[in-house]
Amino acid sequence: MDQQIKSELRSIVGKDYFLDSPNELYVYSYDATPLYQAMPDAVVIPASVEEVSAIMKVASKHRIPIVSRGSGTNLCGGTVPVEGGIVLNMNRLNEFKEIDQENLTATFGPGVITADVHKAVEAVGLFYPPDPGSMRISTMGGNVAECAGGMRGLKYGVTKDYIMGLEAVLPNGEVLRVGGKNAKDVAGYDVTKLLVGSEGTLAVITEITAKLLPLPAAKQTMVAYYNDLTSAARSVQRIIAAKIIPATLEFLDQATMVVVEDFAHIGLPLDMKAMLIIEQDGSQWQVEHDMERIADICRSEGATEVRTAQTAEEGASLMAARRSALSALARVKPTTILEDATVPRANLAEMVDQVDIIANKYGLQICTFGHAGDGNLHPTCLTDERDKEEIHRVEQAFEEIFHAAIKLGGTITGEHGVGMAKAGYLDLKVGPVGMDLMRRIKEAFDPHGIMNPGKIFAKSARRRVVVNTNGCGCEHEHAHN
Amino acid sequence: MDQQIKSELRSIVGKDYFLDSPNELYVYSYDATPLYQAMPDAVVIPASVEEVSAIMKVASKHRIPIVSRGSGTNLCGGTVPVEGGIVLNMNRLNEFKEIDQENLTATFGPGVITADVHKAVEAVGLFYPPDPGSMRISTMGGNVAECAGGMRGLKYGVTKDYIMGLEAVLPNGEVLRVGGKNAKDVAGYDVTKLLVGSEGTLAVITEITAKLLPLPAAKQTMVAYYNDLTSAARSVQRIIAAKIIPATLEFLDQATMVVVEDFAHIGLPLDMKAMLIIEQDGSQWQVEHDMERIADICRSEGATEVRTAQTAEEGASLMAARRSALSALARVKPTTILEDATVPRANLAEMVDQVDIIANKYGLQICTFGHAGDGNLHPTCLTDERDKEEIHRVEQAFEEIFHAAIKLGGTITGEHGVGMAKAGYLDLKVGPVGMDLMRRIKEAFDPHGIMNPGKIFAKSARRRVVVNTNGCGCEHEHAHN
């Protein structure tokens, strides 16, 4: 990036918010996804939509890649600047502008932390359901870009279901406002929902208006332990078939239970093959009624123990244990590769079996946990990136897992996004017609291809789950453009 | 349209399903929207996705406009073939393919009638919430194309919130499959939600997979009568602010009550200025609990009477009365123009006032009713299209109503769509940046502009609510291309 451009960018945000020293750039060369890394040419930290617009005009004129990011907690390599260019750190747009209690909406900047939204709205008796695993660190801009999911997806849906309005800056610097506070709005194409989950490849989100619900009056948590995986999966199916939709319906296999227990010490019975964590919310009456019926179903499907948390604290600690699964797994081996294969929930048992068969076939340690009620599984491989031969088997195994998910009517990613990690596999789900169409939609927003290039759309046909993009992890600057 | 093309189309669907006699074409020259009419060049009635694909290839090659339609119950002139071409009647793709009770989905062709979806899924204890006024006649393909709303939008959302997967044919004849039965799916851009509400301007929908909910166990209906509009509107705001989300929260002003009573004879007190019809569903406990609190709020806001329906039949007859509002209004004067201005619900009272002021200013009879809980009002003008001077005032009044809605943070259409009726006003809501972007999205799907041309995007800058597109209503064929 030449000095003239750097000085233009510096003059927009001020010198403190333009970074280009190797040490500073290094910090923005990776995200939460293992094995992906690439150096940006500059990091720019704007404070307003006007600054974002001015930056985009410079980037557009000089065809500089733009990778907007918040906390970088995504798990698809979504914010790795694989073609260099500018990383746009959006964390200064973190104003919590409004909670509108009459319209049940909240409006804030993309830099606001997800858990802070929860806290702010719950303080006035309202509820923002999406709760991705990284919610204490992740920003709402990132949640919108990736269409983050979480543990309450079964009953409450995902980020997309709560985003009513957006302000965004297009690649050419134009400011777009779509949606708003209207409960119903069919004025033209739904650009709001199109931007949610577009992974920074279409526009830079600068303001978010989210829908809120009344906070449920009561909540209860339950665990059920099983001697075999199939009984656990069948319980999930039977709960839904009984027309009960719990807020949360999570699954952990034995391998995951062992590491979670070692991490969280909550007394899990480690001789069990699987457990479900079930949470229901609503009126006290509804919660008790549903929990009784759920317990009956679990028992009749062979659960060896069904236990209801006696206090809110006990419930919270069970949920915290589930939330700790990824951190716990990450301690076991040097490299943890968390996948996101998802199937229609009726095919959950079969998918769990398939993962097991594939793990054995390739001699890998794959632990499986996830949002069973959504059919959204996270088979997680514990491996070591230095062992090239094993990493090769990991790639083969995950490719087979994706194929198995697609064969069962599923998808390659339920909530983590495509990014770089799944770009080579997107055609499995959407086919060549879908790929072509998505490329044309991308061009409608971003004719010069500067928005988060290398994400969603694979450059090469070769499929790779794990790629160290420029390999070195070194601290000197690279020329990428 | 030349004979060669006609014979190509005839060979695709068979001669019985290709119509081009003046009498047959006339039937497809209008829809439920008053004052819009234009003759197609041919009507083609395919029976399969393969036939649709073959038709689209012919249309694409010869640049023939395609207007796909079901029952034509839309209220925005959405299916009037304003540039001639082919009307694609989708009613033969009416197979109800599946109710999947494990995944809580239903899959069917676009020709299935909305009320038949309700019936089929309710028979197995499931629930498809969207219930547009025309649900006994409208097709699901039309509901998807227009993103139909209804009376349960407040609690349950609109069509978009229930469409999980679509099969659609692109203008070039390619068959696209997007989404599916996965509760979570972030594999690429959300083309499914983009197609919902795209009004036939992007693709032809050939199969729909909808999300279902468990059917609520109980339901109760209540009416509240008011001496003034503001108290009714304030009750709506206070119910929501009390964090109660009723399934239905409908508003009728006095003028509407008078015509509904004349039509339905249910004993409405015609000296009242407004009424609310409120329905809650859920567990018996929740319903009773909520209804008590709602009744208290209505009384404290000055309702002169609050009455709970004593039986399910009484509740149903109240809802039927509300549903009859449009039919009842349509009997009063030769021409009924139903509008769809929508505001954030907190601004409902102010919007109702504005409509009143504007109606007086232009000396028009405007009755207002609608989905108060959504802020989605239907100010309805009773007029006579033969009175050109009055129609001119109607146009001016509605233009002012749209501006008032936008000024209150609202939108030009909550649930009826843009079509031709609102095309001249879309820029009020989405601005020039939004208009340009939507045009580019349209081109990404439809580079030759053959998909329902003249809809959503206005050709001329002149704004007109009511336009008789080719005026004559005559029965001889026109040359349009």
pLDDT per position as a tens digit, A229-272: 889 989 999 999 999 999 999 999 999 999 999 998 989 999 99
Are A187 and B418 inside 8 Å of each other by CB? yes
Are B188 and A147 inside 8 Å of each other by CB? no
For residue B451, what is the DSSP state?
B
Predicted local distance difference test score (pLDDT) of residue A467? 47
Q: Is residue B462 over pLDDT 90?
A: no
| Residues of A whose CB is below 8 A from B440 | 444-445
Answer whether A284 touches B (CB < 8 Å).
Answer: no
Percent of chain B with pLDDT over 90: 88
Q: Which of B75, B143, B161, B182 to mutate to test the interface with A (most CBs of A within 10 A)?
A: B182
Are A153 and B183 inside 8 Å of each other by CB? yes
Q: Is residue B149 over pLDDT 80?
A: yes
Which amino acid is it at A25?
Answer: L
Q: How confident is the model at residue B468 (pLDDT cuts 50, 70, 90)?
A: very low
Are B440 and A437 inside 8 Å of each other by CB? no
Compare all CA atoms of chain A with the CA of B412 and give the residue at the minimum distance.
Answer: A187
Interval A443-456 mean pLDDT = 98
Predicted local distance difference test score (pLDDT) of residue A468? 42
Judged by CB atoms within 8 Å, which residues 363-422 of B form the interface with A?
371, 373-376, 409-418, 422
Are A177 and B245 inside 8 Å of each other by CB? no
Contact B388, B118 (CB under 8 A): no
CB-nearest to B158 from A184, A189, A376 is A184
Compare all CA atoms of chain A with the CA of B161 and give the residue at the minimum distance.
Answer: A161
Q: Is residue B324 over pLDDT 70?
A: yes
User: Measured between CA atoms, how close is B273 to chain A, in angstroms?
Assistant: 24
Contact A363, A230 (CB under 8 A): no
Percent of chain A with pLDDT over 70: 95
Q: Is A292 exposed, middle or buried (0-12, 13-18, 19+ CB in 10 A)?
A: exposed
| Residues of B whose CB is below 8 A from A440 | 444-445
Domains of chain B: 1-215+420-481 (3.30.465.10), 216-407 (3.40.462.40)
Q: Is residue A20 over pLDDT 50?
A: yes
Predicted local distance difference test score (pLDDT) of residue B403? 96
CA dist., res. A339 & res. A413, Å (int) = 8
Percent of chain A with pLDDT over 90: 88
CB-nearest to A344 from B176, B182, B418 is B182
CA dist., res. A438 & res. A293, Å (int) = 44
What three-state secondary structure class fits A253? strand
User: Measured between CA atoms, how close is A81 to chain B, in angstroms?
Assistant: 19
- Helical axes A426-445 vs A388-407, angle rounded to 10°: 90
Q: Which of A101, A169, A185, A294 to mutate to test the interface with B (most CBs of B within 10 A)?
A: A185
Answer whether A468 touches B (CB < 8 Å).
Answer: no
Predicted local distance difference test score (pLDDT) of residue B230? 86
Q: Is residue B22 over pLDDT 80?
A: yes
Task: Summarize pLDDT for A164-218 with one digit per residue, the tens.
Answer: 999 999 999 999 999 999 999 999 999 999 999 999 999 999 999 999 999 999 9
Judged by CB atoms within 8 Å, which residues 18-77 of A form the interface with B?
none
- Helical axes B348-361 vs B388-407, angle rounded to 10°: 150
For residue B162, what is the DSSP state?
G
Q: How confident is the model at residue A475 (pLDDT cuts 50, 70, 90)?
A: very low
Name the nearest CA neighbour of B218 among A54, A283, A39: A283
Predicted local distance difference test score (pLDDT) of residue A465? 54
Q: How confident is the model at residue B476 (pLDDT cuts 50, 70, 90)?
A: very low
Are B186 and A417 inside 8 Å of each other by CB? yes
Q: How confident is the model at residue B71 (pLDDT cuts 50, 70, 90)?
A: very high
User: Measured between CA atoms, how close is B104 to chain A, in angstroms?
Assistant: 8
Q: Is residue B480 over pLDDT 90?
A: no
CA dist., res. B83 & res. B37, Å (int) = 11
Residue of B470 and B86 predicted with greater confidence: B86
The chain-wide mean pLDDT, for chain A, equals 93
Interval B12-32 mean pLDDT = 97
Q: Is residue B472 over pLDDT 90?
A: no
Scored b (16 or more CB within 10 A) or e, B396-430 reads ebbbbbbbbbbebbbbbbbbbbbbbbbbbbbbbbb
Contact A9, A42 (CB under 8 A): yes
Q: How confident is the model at residue A458 (pLDDT cuts 50, 70, 90)?
A: confident
CA angle B334/B350/B379 to nearest 5° reads: 15
Contact B189, A427 (CB under 8 A): no
Compare all CA atoms of chain B with the CA of A100 and give the residue at the minimum distance.
Answer: B346
Task: Summarize pLDDT for B355-402 with one digit per residue, the tens.
Answer: 999 999 999 999 999 999 999 999 999 999 999 999 999 999 999 999
Name the β-bridge partners of B282: B218
Q: Is residue A466 over pLDDT 60?
A: no
The chain-wide mean pLDDT, for chain B, equals 93
Q: How many residues appear in chain A?
A: 481
Answer whether A213 touches B (CB < 8 Å).
Answer: yes
Name the nearest CA neighbour of B266 among B328, B321, B332, B324: B321
Answer whether B357 touches A (CB < 8 Å).
Answer: no
Q: Is residue B248 over pLDDT 80?
A: yes
Task: Summarize pLDDT for B328-351 with one digit per residue, the tens.
Answer: 998 999 999 998 989 998 899 899
Task: Summarize pLDDT for A366-423 with one digit per residue, the tens.
Answer: 999 999 999 999 999 999 999 999 999 999 999 999 999 999 999 999 999 999 999 9
Predicted local distance difference test score (pLDDT) of residue A472? 35
Phi, psi of B206 (to 5 degrees): -120, -15
